[in-house]
Amino acid sequence: MPDLTKTSSASEEAAAVAGSTPVITDAGPVPEKPRSLGADAWRGLRRNPLFVISGLLVLLILFVAAFPGLFTSASPTIGDPAKHFLGKPNLGHVFQEDWFGYDGTGRSLYARVLYGARNSIIVGLGVTILVTIFGGLMGMLAGYFGGFWDSLISRLTDVFFGIPFLLGSMVVLNAFTHRTVWVVMGALAFLGWTQITRVMRGAVITTKHADYVVAARALGAGTRRILFRHILPNAIAPVIVVATISLGTYIVAESTLSYLGLGLSDDSISWGSDISDGTQFIRNFPHVLLFPAGALSITVLAFIMMGDAVREALDPKLR
């Protein structure tokens, strides 16, 4: 009985939302093949140039973050200040050590940009995953059970919303002397989960009154089945959208903290600290600032664009 137990794949779950049918519903298309809402959204996404461009960029960035060594043999940490002090970029030397020039300690900027992607992506992805799981669970708890749990969690999110995100993380990170990616990740997640909680809570409250949830209750379905089979798949879409977009902002946050000297410790490579280093040479050697800053901007833009495209695909009202 494979068809009764089969659930749609995770990516489909993520990319689906209620009611993506066209306006002329009753006369609407009844195609030959089974077509889930997720598949519909995916079809829409594939045809969206914004998604194709941002998606390819994101893939490229992820690949670079995973295997920076494939793109260069130069070391990002060891430079020769005597030989390459603030060397100008050589734009003709594509993929070569001196493509982007050198920084103040003679390190290849090209290698710095490539290796810097890893930390940015790890922090961004890590925070997003932590926040989605924890914030999502809290939101589900508050939205579904209501009453005491809702009051408690909602007041807690109010408290966290009162703390400025960056200022709060600076205070937290200040308590650590050696700041690894995990520490930064934890600090950002600690302060960022409330956004997802709010989104999830709202989505769960709307979904839990849907007729199909009432129908499941009438059949005698238990809480777990109702939550994970009926509510979660239908409430997850806005969470996915918010998570994708905020991934970009977490990367920015990490860079900002590193720029301020409160992010990753000096021995790890980060676009933020490179930007910080670059500012002292901005007049005569703008390239030292420009390349890490450009990499950061492109990465953030790619994630936000992808979030926008996903939102458009999941929300038929925006069509």
- Least CB distance from residue 37 to other proteins, whole Å? 6
Per-residue contact string for residues 215-254; x = within reach of other proteins by CB under 8 A: xxxxxxxx--x---xx--xx--------------------
- Least CB distance from residue 159 to other proteins, whole Å? 17
Percentages of the chain per state (helix, strand, coil), in multiples of 5: 70, 0, 30
Q: Which is nearer to other proteins, 166 or 210 (CB)?
A: 210
| CA neighbor of 89 nearest in space, from 287, 284, 296, 293 | 287
Q: Is 250 exposed, middle or buried (0-12, 13-18, 19+ CB in 10 A)?
A: buried
- Least CB distance from residue 211 to other proteins, whole Å? 4
| CA neighbor of 273 nearest in space, from 91, 63, 119 | 119
Structure tokens belonging to residue 307: 């979030």
Rounded to whole angstroms, the Cα distance separating 65 from 125 reads 11
- If one asks whether residue 148 binds other proteins (CB under 8 A), the answer comes out as no
108 φ, ψ (degrees, to nearest 5): -65, 120
Per-residue contact string for residues 43-62; x = within reach of other proteins by CB under 8 A: xx--x---------------
108 DSSP β-pair partners: 102
DSSP type of residue 87: P
Instruction: Count residues near other proteins (CB under 8 A).
Output: 46
Judged by CB under 8 A, the residue of 35, 46, 88, 93 near other proteins is 35
- Least CB distance from residue 140 to other proteins, whole Å? 16
Judged by CB under 8 A, the residue of 25, 155, 159, 267 near other proteins is 25
**How many Cβ atoms are within 10 Å of 156's Cβ, its own excluded?**
15
Coil, strand, or helix at residue 108? strand
State which of positions 186-215 bind other proteins (CB under 8 A). Answer: 210-212, 214-215
- Least CB distance from residue 153 to other proteins, whole Å? 17
Q: Which is nearer to other proteins, 30 or 82 (CB)?
A: 30
- Least CB distance from residue 163 to other proteins, whole Å? 24
102 DSSP β-pair partners: 108
For other proteins, the binding residues (CB under 8 A) are 1, 3-4, 6, 8, 13, 16, 18-31, 34-38, 43-44, 47, 210-212, 214-222, 225, 229-230, 233-234
